[in-house]
């Protein structure tokens, strides 16, 4: 399963995951930088993904084939994310 990092988390998190052997991409790299949550859902609805997000909307409303990891940290640093994810 591919990890997709939402726009409210740093692109460097996707880079860090990739460096550790996890297939990961940031929404910026998918051309979805300014996309609404609804557009992101529609674009990726048929893909089996693990979505990392600080947006609880995805936690509540996501396709059944997604795994959502809700990051409930206020303005986390990469070091905090590294220790949490």
What pLDDT tens digit does each residue of the chain (85 aa) get?
Answer: 899 999 989 999 999 999 999 999 999 999 998 899 999 999 999 999 999 998 888 878 889 999 999 887 777 776 776 666 6
The CA–CA distances, whole Å, from 73 to 28, 55, 61, 68 equal: 21, 11, 20, 15
pTM of the model: 0.85
Where in the chain are the domains? 2-76
pLDDT value, residue 72: 77
Is there a contact between 6 and 69 (Cβ–Cβ < 8 Å)? no
């Amino acid at each position: 399963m591919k990890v997709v990092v939402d726009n409210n988390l740093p692109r460097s998190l996707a880079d860090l995951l990739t460096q550790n052997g996890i297939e990961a991409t940031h929404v910026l790299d998918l051309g979805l930088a300014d996309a609404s949550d609804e557009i992101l859902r529609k674009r990726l609805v048929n893909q089996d993904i693990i979505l990392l997000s600080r947006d609880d909307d995805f936690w509540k409303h996501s396709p059944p084939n997604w795994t959502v990891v809700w990051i409930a940290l206020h303005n986390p640093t990469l070091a905090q994310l590294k220790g949490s994810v």
